Amino acid sequence: MADASPALAAGGLSKGDAAILRFLAAAELIETDLWQQYNELAGIQDDEVPGGSGSAAYAEAVAVLDGDMDQYIHDNTDDEISHAAFIDAYLKAHGEPTVNLDRFRTLPSSKATGAQQIGRLTNLMQLTVDTSFWTRYRSDSQNPDFGDAPVQAVPGLAAGQFPAIPRSDDDLAQPDHLQAIANTAGFHFVFIEQGGTSLYAQLAQRVTHPEVLRILLSIGPTEAMHFQTWHDKAGNAPPLTDPTNGLVFPDLNAAGGELTQTNLIMPEPTKFLNRKFPIVSIIRPTQTKDAAMAAVKALTADGLFIGQSQEFATVITQLAKAADAARHG
């Protein structure tokens, strides 16, 4: 790697670039941990993404969204593993401290048949999924960078705590309950990957070295590819009510018009930078100020860290604040 980037190796990373890469390393470890849990139960377990042995009933419910969901889950997981490993190796190659979250792998695994029984960083069993990304990307007049808060596509998911994986084999018995869990996963996939899409674009604006910019510009759009795929699949989640907890997945094509119509998966042009400009098709949000902390807050509000220690929150917050202090130049 030193040969591939002699200028950077000689000068080392700027403090800000290292801080941004460390925060992204942490984010990728978190992504890897949650995707691994999905893969163990509903993906393809193989040499590339080892661990788990699958839950046939859960995988079948997830496959209602698309027959290739197991492959996509596998490939998304493989991508996250590679993101985390690459950023870690890059930091190491430049003599920078890396990020190790292993001591926080303390949260319980699903007890469902197919999951490994190991400690986890993230909790997929009490999620509160913000589904405003759905309407945000369909609105031609709203943009979170202007302070807008587009409405939820699935208001119920944003208001309670729901499992996105079976907590145990008991969750497999009632078909509509199981499908609600699979639907929750389907919307959670989109939430996670649209967040990554924005995060890379936000942090790229504050890196200094062109090679670090190249890293962010090369990884970030893969998050957008994931987002786009999951965005399409989530629209296939069948409308239903979970009989165990009342969670409603509405018929998105029946209500709401263009703000919820499922096949509107291309980003609708919207306002950007200043209203004096014409609307434009963009990812959103991209404002860079405090972007890392915003990501931590979003993941925390998602319920991913329920059960984690105060020390975990402190470590993640410190990494985010250091990244948000980085300035271009």
By the criterion CB under 5 A, which residues form the site for Fe ion?
A: 28, 31, 80, 83, 193, 196, 223
DSSP label at residue 250:
-
Closest CB to Fe ion among residues 33, 80 = 80
Phi first, then psi: what are they for 192, rounded to 5°?
-60, -50
Neighbours of 300 (CB within 10 A): 15
Q: How far is the CB of 3 from Fe ion (least distance, A)?
A: 26
Q: How far is CA 294 from the centre of its chain?
A: 13
Please say which residue, 218 or 314, places its beta carbon nearer to Fe ion.
218
Cβ atoms of 280 and 267 within 8 Å: the answer is: no
Q: How far is the CB of 21 from Fe ion (least distance, A)?
A: 13
In sequence order, the β-bridge partners of residue 248 are 241
Q: Is the dihedral of CA 218, 66, 303, 79 positive or negative?
A: negative
Closest alpha carbon to 186 in 250, 234, 251, 127: 234
Q: What is the residue type of 241?
A: T
Minimal distance, residue 113 CB to Fe ion, in Å: 27
Three-state secondary-structure class, residue 11: helix
Nearer to Fe ion, 249 or 305 (CB): 305
Closer residue to Fe ion (CB): 80 or 130: 80
Residue 83 CB, nearest approach to Fe ion (Å): 4
Minimum CB–partner distance for residue 193 and Fe ion (Å): 5
Q: What's the closest the beta carbon of residue 223 comes to Fe ion, in angstroms?
A: 5
Residue 34 or 62 having the CB closest to Fe ion: 34
Interatomic CA distance for residues 291 and 285, integer angstroms: 9
User: Which residue's Cβ has the minimum distance to Fe ion?
Assistant: 83
Q: Which is nearer to Fe ion, 112 or 129 (CB)?
A: 129
Which single residue is written with the structure tokens 């992204």? 24
